Homo-oligomer: A and B are copies of this chain.
């Protein structure tokens, strides 16, 4: 079975979803996407691992990158697809093969766009950042990501969501002294010492800063806690893991500094982090896009690969079918009307001069 990018969008979406492509297993789907794009005169098709890139070379004054990932989180009994009312259900329908379907349809339909387009279908987005193929391409072929503006077709309920918040994780480990719990006074309880750390997190008031006109909403949360040796031993160590989601007016270094300032008496071990992206809607290419697509842009709370483009100096927005709060849910789905809304919005934008 092959993909027909010229056919019905719902059929195309279901065909994309029914080729299981959990991170690491994208080859079969990448092969089909590559085939579907080949044979169109206006597109140069490249293959890099399981990433497929299609580009126009029309000599336009502006180039826009439109990207979506092919992989999904693990299947949870939610394949193959099913149709219920005006929704397509199944793993990846929301995150983000609805966006991929729109990309394929518009890539082949827009044969003479007023701006050059780079369509990127990439792999390994749902896993650690080092495995993400955009990491490799940014390092080995940064020219492929160059553009004046980028659109990431992550689910946004078909509205423009600008930029994204950054994310930072750290651990705080308390140290005590082990002892038999029948003689607790000979030890020191490391779990008890977490009380102070958890109280700081509990009492923290997250900020809601406005950045480039969009209101973000930060959060500082324990996401894991662990400690204890045995039921009769005073624990000598305990650890809380914290996730700080921060608005894009802070750099990663600013965010680390801020976390340290909240817990001045503790050692924070930063385990991973990624800066956010300012919405950048004041860039002309972005403004044209927002205007053509319509609606009121809002802030993107979750971290997305728009931050990668932002880091390369390419302003980027999120825009795609599907409710972002359904991403990764077992009952994820794509509303059919949003497929058409997104496709039509892109086509409308590509009808306007650059």
List the interface of chain A (C-beta within 8 A of B). 165, 167, 169, 180-186, 189, 191-195, 198-199, 201-202, 206, 217, 219, 221-235, 238, 240-241, 243, 245, 301-303, 325
Q: List 15 A-B contacts (CB under 8 A).
A: A180-B302, A181-B223, A182-B301, A184-B206, A184-B219, A185-B217, A191-B221, A191-B223, A191-B224, A192-B201, A194-B225, A195-B199, A221-B234, A223-B233, A226-B228
B301→A219 contact, CB < 8 A:
no
Taking the closest CB of chain B, its distance from the CB of A95, in whole angstroms, is 12
**Which of B195, B219, B232, B303 is A223 in contact with, Cβ under 8 Å?**
B232
**CB nearest neighbor in B for A208:** B185
For A245, the chain B residues whose CB sits under 8 A away are 181-182, 184
Distance of A275 from chain B, by nearest CB (Å): 14
Q: Which chain B residue lies CB-closest to A194? A: B198
User: Contacting A221 at CB < 8 Å: which of B169, B189, B193?
Assistant: B189
Q: Contact: B221 with A181, CB < 8 Å?
A: yes
Residues of B close to A201: CB separation below 8 A: 189, 191-192, 195
CB–CB B192/A165 < 8 A? no
The residue on B at minimum CB distance from A243 is: B181
Residue of B183, B202, B231, B243 near A193 (CB, 8 A) is B202
Query: Which one of B184, B198, B233, B243 lies within 8 Å of A232 (CB-CB)?
Result: B243
Check B181–A219 contact: CB distance below 8 A: yes
Bound-state Cα–Cα, A304 to B229, Å? 21
Q: Cβ of A325: which chain B residues have Cβ within 8 Å of it?
A: 180, 183, 186
Which B residues lie within 8 Å of A238 (CB)?
Answer: 225
Which chain B residue shows the least CB distance to A232? B243
A199 interface neighbour in B199, B240, B241, Cβ under 8 Å:
B199
